[in-house]
Chain A
């Protein structure tokens, strides 16, 4: 159920934001926008489905602990 809501939400945002970009014909911005938007959409759907996504905090923690030697 929540996934349907997420998809609906993204469709609404997409219509509001992407259509003006297409009209203005800004290719680079449109590409960047689509990539970021796609990534955000995929993560949202995965979270909505209850998939455990590995957190970026863990590897950073490991690196930091390695550097400070604890």
Chain B
């Protein structure tokens, strides 16, 4: 079997699409209210050192992924145990994004259609692309990033006439606490979820690639999220932003230039669907890769389908309604994900550094 390699450019596109995945649709950091843009900015700044740790881990062990590094760091049994926890995390994130992609069209445009129709068609495609491997996923991202970066920017430009600067003034009116809470949410919801890339990107070109991919992807994807969220708050105001399930869609409906350029929400649905599709494919790939590593199998392709079907099933019964989903995503998810995004990688990093130093001296 030949070794799969993805180029830096493809990696950056993957990270951009992954970050913007569900976040283009669902509101993040709504707790910060009118200071949302500050919260997202802070979240990007805080995410940089954490992502540098992931990148450092990947570049220390070129050609290996998180599960190999866990085994190196903690030994065979504990390493595999923590690996299983990470697999669950990736699985849960995949389930969340599948549910998200199912709720989105049902809520905004097709209320009579059952959710499984959308999720099943998406999971079929995800199973297919994961079976083709990360190279195909990278090339796919390389093309579809065009739908996600320039088109929202165009919509932002079209929305300038109805923006109201008073929606974000006065800055820090409610004090620092809501800002910190929003920062925490925004940090956990899109940015630090990129920990999943340590589970799949075992095929980089050089030692510098991981830094390149993580930092450039974070900055570009973060800028996209920042621009879109700022527009949403400027147009809708902080209260409406927190109250709608999919503010991006609501905002795009408001585009109306000379009564000819209208109904831009179709473009938003396109962008959201492609990005969320990539997000769930990455999650599926991470789960499959992890299970293959835990059971010492050479290839993960053999059992992509049952895992995809499991994800599809879980997505149906994990939350009862969209209300429960948004509540979970904003109030439980950041704390739950903190363990996987920050605590475990930092512990692993420290252990690995100590081990390496003691070996070399």
- Give residues in A with beta carbon < 8 Å to B: 13, 17, 21, 26, 28-29, 32-33, 36-37, 39-40, 43-44, 47, 52-53, 55-57, 60-61, 64-65, 67-68
Contacts and interface: CB of A to CB of B under 8 A. Distances in A.
Nearest to A24: B302
A26 B332 contact: no
Given A44-B313, A56-B92, 11 more contacts: A13-B305, A32-B295, A32-B303, A33-B306, A39-B306, A40-B306, A40-B309, A43-B314, A55-B318, A57-B318, A64-B336
Interface string B307-341: 10110011011111000100010001001100000
Interface in B177-195: none
Contacts of A21: 302
Given A37-B306, A68-B335, A32 B318 contact: no
Contact of A55 (B307, B309, B319): B319
Interface in B277-319: 291, 295, 297, 302-303, 305-307, 309-310, 313-314, 316-319
Q: 5 smallest A-B Cβ distances: which pairs?
A: A36-B306, A40-B309, A37-B306, A43-B313, A29-B302
B332 A60 contact: yes
Contacts, number: 64
A52 B303 CA distance: 27
B188 to A, nearest CB: 12
Contacts of A28: 295, 297
10 contacts: A13-B309, A28-B297, A32-B291, A32-B303, A33-B302, A36-B310, A37-B309, A40-B309, A43-B310, A57-B318
Interface residues on B, range: 20 to 34
B305 A64 contact: no
Nearest to A21: B302
Task: Indicate the member of B92, B291, B302, B307 with the most A CB atoms within 10 Å.
Answer: B302
A36 B317 contact: no
Interface in B57-96: 92
A32 B143 CA distance: 35
A57 B305 contact: no
A43 B316 CA distance: 10
Contact of A53 (B307, B317, B324, B332): B317
B319 A36 contact: no
A56 to B, nearest CB: 7
A47 B306 contact: no
A47 B317 contact: yes
Given A40-B313, A60-B336, A26 B302 contact: yes
Interface in B3-42: none
A33 B303 contact: yes
B93 to A, nearest CB: 13
A68 B335 CA distance: 8
Contacts of B310: 36, 39-40, 43
Nearest to B310: A40
A56 B310 CA distance: 13
A26 B313 CA distance: 27
Nearest to A20: B302
Nearest to B325: A57
